[in-house]
Amino acid sequence: MSDIKIKKLPQECFDIYGQYNNVPYYINKSKNKFLKNINRGKASPKEIDLFILNKNNNKALKGKNKYNFLKENKVGIDCSGFVSYILEELALKNKDKHIWEIIHNTTKNPIKIFYSHKIRPISSKMNADILTNDINSITIKKINDIKPGDLIRMNGGKHIAIISEVHYNKKNVSKIIYWQSTENIGVCESEIIIQDPNKELKDQLWKKIKGSKYDTLSLYKKKINSNGVKRLKLIS
């Protein structure tokens, strides 16, 4: 009997990840609050596919053609937008609620609360910092306590990834697979090889992503005191 075990996110989450294949990274820098999700880097896979059909004579695109077409039209998904749609699947499966019904907003302004709950919750409420702040999440300090669905907070809350798989050798974590949307690549998968589960995550072997603008480990080490593995309080 093998000592290697793997824990994964539910299949619904892998389906969403697959639907984001060949979707580039895009972050909205406009202050216009009335932009649609498709123009804000917060579009769902269905919204992206519909955009392609509408703009490409009702023809779908795949692979590099899809990636280039979306990039030319400034359509894509940012890190928190992508993670939010994965968390949405977990929230619906585990709590039968939308993710924005679970996340606590940091504002007390009733207009902003209404906007973030009813008008455009993914784009106005689900940023990397809010998802991983102390109001909404707890810090997982030991590597052997990490599980699929945990979030990796990086760059002081300006970047986020989600853990999709945790591999074990006997009782110790041996490898962590995580998903993110990152510049120059878009939605992608990478891994962290755990060389010593008693050390911190920053001391493990983070595999580099070919073609990525940023080395993920460097983002994790940037503003390190604010970073870490986080777990949403109301979704696990």
pLDDT, tens digit, 9 for 90 and up, residues 75-102: 999 999 999 999 999 999 999 988 888 8
Distance CA 123, CA 121 (A): 6
19 within 8 A of 27, measured Cβ to Cβ: no
Sign of CA dihedral 92, 97, 100, 105: negative
Average per-residue pLDDT for the chain: 90
Q: What is the model's pLDDT at position 212? A: 77
Domain boundaries, the chain: 4-232
Question: Given pLDDT bands bounded at 50, 70 and 90, which one contains residue 153?
Answer: very high
The percent of residues above 70 in pLDDT, for the chain, comes to: 89
pLDDT digits (tens, 9 = 90+) for 19-49: 999 999 999 887 776 778 898 899 999 999 9
More confident residue, 1 or 126: 126
Instruction: Please write the tens of the pLDDT for every residue from 176-203.
Output: 999 999 988 999 999 999 999 999 999 9
Q: What is the arithmetic mean of pLDDT over 160-175?
A: 96
Q: What is the pTM of this model?
A: 0.92
Candidates 25, 54, 38, 3; CA nearest to 180 is 25
Residue 120 pLDDT class (50, 70, 90 cuts): low
Enumerate residues 6+ apart whose C-beta is below 8 A from 117: 100, 101, 125
What is the per-residue pLDDT for 98? 87
